[in-house]
């Protein structure tokens, strides 16, 4: 049976009090850090020096989601910062296989992200190069958007292809994950769930994590 992981996104946290905000999610499986450069997406968040510092104080491993251009140059530096997992967007990479290998060689799990309208089929032959496939369930750039049900068939096809390949690849979904949508995403085959507003918008982020995890796990049967 798949293990259900909840990775809260600090995009919805208080950026002035990050250390305290991290302490509120110490029961999470990892913390999802959204790096945006105002080129790949129309928003700007934080960069390598801040992520390096977050990694030093976080009670849980870091899961970086790089929504940046020129990712072939930048992503390896995030792996060098000791992050557990580094995810790049395939639309921003010139050489995704080379990049995935570089991330693994530097000790990070290699994640590859697809925007909602990017098909998974062209990349099925490279599943063995990846530890995680991130299927975006909103257009990347902002927290608080609604889950796109149109991505569910892609999650299903990706899970079937992973099972067929025998590769050990997690499927992460990111965007609009709530107590309601997590069941649909888990049914379709996702097993790592990023939640920003559903966790940090709750009175108790730690309780929101437990509740989301229970819902996701239930869907796995």
Min. distance of Cβ 99 from ligand DX5 in angstroms?
A: 19
Give yes or no: 149 in active site.
no
Cβ-based neighbour number of residue 142 at 10 Å: 15
Question: Quick check: 216 binds ligand DX5 (CB under 6 A)?
Answer: no
Here's the x/- map for ligand DX5, 59-78, by CB under 6 A: it reads as ------x-------------
Distance CA 56, CA 135 (A): 28
Q: Where are the alpha helices (DSSP H) in 9-95?
A: 18-23, 48-57, 71-80
Catalytic residue among 34, 37, 63, 131: 34
Task: Let me know if 174 is exposed, middle or buried by CB neighbors in 10 A (0-12, 13-18, 19+).
Answer: buried
Min. distance of Cβ 31 from ligand DX5 in angstroms?
A: 11
Question: Quick check: 34 binds Zn ion (CB under 5 A)?
Answer: yes
C-alpha torsion sign, points 19, 59, 130, 209: negative
- 182 within 8 A of 193, measured Cβ to Cβ: yes
Q: Which is nearer to ligand DX5, 76 or 196 (CB)?
A: 196
Q: Is 9 assigned a ligand-binding role in the annotation?
A: yes
Q: Which is nearer to ligand DX5, 91 or 142 (CB)?
A: 142
Here's the x/- map for Zn ion, 51-90, by CB under 5 A: it reads as --------------x-------------------------
Distance CA 41, CA 68 (A): 7
Question: Quick check: 111 binds ligand DX5 (CB under 6 A)?
Answer: no
Give yes or no: 63 in active site.
no
Distance CA 104, CA 100 (A): 6
Q: Which is nearer to ligand DX5, 51 or 161 (CB)?
A: 51
Q: Which is nearer to Zn ion, 24 or 115 (CB)?
A: 115
Q: Is 34 assigned a ligand-binding role in the annotation?
A: yes
Q: What are phi and psi of 204, to 5 degrees?
A: -125, 105
Question: Quick check: 175 binds ligand DX5 (CB under 6 A)?
Answer: yes
Distance CA 4, CA 193 (A): 8
Distance CA 130, CA 98 (A): 11
Annotated catalytic residues are 34, 174
The residues that touch Zn ion, with contacts defined as CB under 5 A, are 34, 65, 174
Question: What residues are designated binding site?
Answer: 9, 32, 34, 65, 141-144, 174-176, 196-197
């Amino acid at each position: 049976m798949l293990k259900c992981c909840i990775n809260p996104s600090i995009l919805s946290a208080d950026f002035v009090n990050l250390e305290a905000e991290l302490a509120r999610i110490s029961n999470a499986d990892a913390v999802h850090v959204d790096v945006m450069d105002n080129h790949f997406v129309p928003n700007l968040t934080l960069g390598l020096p801040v992520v390096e510092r977050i990694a030093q104080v976080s009670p849980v491993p870091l899961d970086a989601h790089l929504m940046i251009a020129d990712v072939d140059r930048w992503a390896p530096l995030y792996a060098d910062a000791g992050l557990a997992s580094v995810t790049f967007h395939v639309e921003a990479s010139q050489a995704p296989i080379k990049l995935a290998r570089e991330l693994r060689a530097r000790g990070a799990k290699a994640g590859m992200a697809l925007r909602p309208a990017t098909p998974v089929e062209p990349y099925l032959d490279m599943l063995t190069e990846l530890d995680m496939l991130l299927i975006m369930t909103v257009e990347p750039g902002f927290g608080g958007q609604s889950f796109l049900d149109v991505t569910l068939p892609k999650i299903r096809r990706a899970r079937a292809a992973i099972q067929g390949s025998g590769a050990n690849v997690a499927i992460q979904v990111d965007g609009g994950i709530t107590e309601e949508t997590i069941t649909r995403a888990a049914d379709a085959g996702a097993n790592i769930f990023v939640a920003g507003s559903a966790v940090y918008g709750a009175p108790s982020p730690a309780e929101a994590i437990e509740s989301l995890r229970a819902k996701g796990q239930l869907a796995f049967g």
